[in-house]
Chains A and B, each alone.
Chain A
């Protein structure tokens, strides 16, 4: 069975969805991702959906679920690279993904995650390196 690879990058988990998500695959991803978060103690999850061209309400809900579950486990979720057509569809469906952070691309998403963690955890700032400061 297909599985979507989950990569660990420092304190973050990186998921790149390269195929159109059907329901089973989405559910598997949700399971895998949450168990990975708990296993690695990740602080952030970055989901790249730039290759996804079709979206339905189910997938919208899965994304929302992943974000809520991660938040409970102290990890922020950023969805990056959403296509205009996908965004319009989600809005028309009334799914605005409240509580999910979004960014234009992986690079900006990473910056956002580092920002979030820097804000929430001051003592670890030096551990994170110079990325937290803007100027």
Chain B
């Protein structure tokens, strides 16, 4: 059995205490996100796993099968932390503060033998650095998963199809249109046309910051698909600067009905469906004439 495993085993209590102290002393500890008992349990489990893994003499290759459990514990911890909103520094400090704890014990034990101390310190450093890299890797992976999920959610939320009138759908688009979003917009719109049997769809792009040739092409595609389904599509909310860009880019929108505002698009839709909205005198409400 090598020195590190020995130390981990015989001084487990002490190392855990030291480690916990280090962690608790750190001002950045988020006791609002993780309880002390939970932290202690995790840390104990990790030290245990580490002493078992090093028992075989392997203190270098953390991808060997005996380290599986340790890596798994670390991955679990950092992925949960990433989801809970810990910062990278807080997650990284978790493993690095263990280094501190082990070093203290080593120093006490080999105070008289500087050469052994130096060698052991190097080994411990090396091993724990590698483990902290694993923590970092999985932390980032966890964050990326969170970001990916949020992107999906934003895409889902930001393309609502609204039924503004019987047979008239409106689809306000907010944010930049890219290929993936256009696909979602198109699918949502077409499905809603089938569901509601609407014959007119208003695509409002007043929330789209810029229109380049790609976005325009996506819009034309959506309009064509709507037409194939048997519904009419009106594009509304084209601002002055967007109109300028479209003309400068040489994009032909002459086959597509366009309106400046959602209101005028709605008006056009009403007239296409032979619906009339008018004000009634001496009455607060609107009356619908058909």
Contacts and interface: CB of A to CB of B under 8 A. Distances in A.
Contacts of B199: 104, 108
Nearest to B290: A135
Contacts of B193: 84, 104
15 contacts: A80-B230, A82-B229, A84-B191, A84-B229, A88-B186, A88-B190, A91-B221, A96-B224, A97-B228, A102-B228, A102-B230, A104-B198, A104-B229, A104-B230, A104-B231
A49 B274 CA distance: 28
Please classify how large the interface on chain B is, using the bins under 10, 10 to 19, 20 to 34, 35 or more. 20 to 34
A87 B197 contact: no
Contacts, number: 57
A79 B231 CA distance: 12
Interface string B42-83: 000000000000000000000000000000000000000000
Contacts of B229: 82, 84, 87, 102, 104
A44 interface: no
Given A84-B190, A135-B274, 16 more contacts: A80-B230, A82-B230, A83-B194, A84-B187, A84-B191, A87-B225, A87-B229, A88-B190, A91-B228, A92-B221, A102-B227, A102-B228, A102-B229, A104-B193, A104-B198, A134-B274
Interface string B268-287: 00000010000000000000
Contacts of A91: 221, 224-225, 228
Interface string A94-113: 00110000111100110000
Nearest to A107: B197
Contacts of B225: 84, 87-88, 90-91
A86 B231 CA distance: 14
A105 B197 CA distance: 8
User: Closest 4 interchain pairs by CB?
Assistant: A84-B190, A102-B230, A103-B230, A87-B228
- Chain B interface helix/strand/loop/mixed: helix
Interface of A: 79-84, 86-88, 90-92, 96-97, 102-105, 108-109, 134-135
Interface of B: 183, 186-187, 190-191, 193-194, 197-199, 221, 224-231, 274
A92 B224 CA distance: 10
A68 B228 CA distance: 16
A82 B197 contact: no
Contacts of A134: 274
Nearest to A78: B230
A134 B274 CA distance: 8
A87 B190 contact: yes
Contacts of A88: 183, 186-187, 190, 225
A133 B249 CA distance: 42
A84 B194 contact: yes
Nearest to B232: A102
Contacts of A105: 197, 230
Given A84-B190, A91-B221, A135-B274, A104 B228 contact: no
Contacts of A79: 228, 230
B230 to A, nearest CB: 4
Contacts of B230: 79-82, 102-105, 108-109
Contacts of A81: 230
Contact of B227 (A92, A96, A109): A96
Most chain A beta-carbon neighbours within 10 Å: one of B199, B229, B274: B229
B197 A90 contact: no
A88 B186 CA distance: 8
Most chain A beta-carbon neighbours within 10 Å: one of B193, B194, B225: B225
A79 B229 CA distance: 9
Contacts of A109: 230
Contacts of A102: 227-230
